[in-house]
Amino acid sequence: MPGLNKVMLIGHLGKAPALRWLESGQAMCKLSLATSERYKDKAGHPHERTEWHQVVLWRELAELADQYLTKGQKVYIEGRLRTRTWQDAQGTEHRSTEIVADRMEMLSPRGFSEADTTRDAPAEKSPGPIPMDTSSLPF
C-alpha cells in the first residue's frame, strides 16, 4: 500500500509572493505562510504560537498567486511535503522542508489589500518576469 503525503493549511501571507521564471520558461512562486494556534497554559494564561511554512507553487498556479495575492491575505493551500538537501559553495550541507502546492484558494474578502492590515503602503509588484539562475538549484 502506498503512503500518503498531504498537507492542508489555512494561514496568512507573511510577505508578497516571489515569482521567478526558470530558464525553461516555467513560472515558480514562493510564499511564506503563517499559521497560528491559540491555547491556555495550566495557569489559564492565553498564548499564541505561530508556525511559518515555505510554500512553492508552479506554472499557472504560480502566476495566479503573483497576480492576486498580497501580504497579509488569508489563503488555503493544499499540497505535499518535500525536503531538499544541497551544499553551498563552502561545502556546508543545507536542508529545507517546504510545501509543494497543487491547490490554492483565496479566503480574504474581495477587495482585500495589504493596507487593510497595516499602515504601510503596499509593496509595488514587479513590472514583469524576473529570470532566475537555476544553476544553483539542487533539483
CA 43 – CA 51 distance, rounded (Å): 23
pLDDT in tens, the chain (139 residues): 889 999 999 999 999 999 999 999 999 999 999 999 999 999 999 999 999 999 999 999 999 999 999 999 999 999 999 999 999 999 999 999 999 999 999 998 766 665 554 434 444 444 545 555 555 555 5
What pTM was computed for the model?
Answer: 0.73
Phi then psi for residue 108, to 5 deg, are -70, 150
**Could you tell me which residues come within 8 angstroms of residue 92 by beta carbon, excluding any fewer than 6 positions away?**
none
Domains identified in the chain and CATH numbers: 7-38+48-136 (2.40.50.140)
Cα–Cα distance for residue pair 65/69, rounded to 1 Å: 5
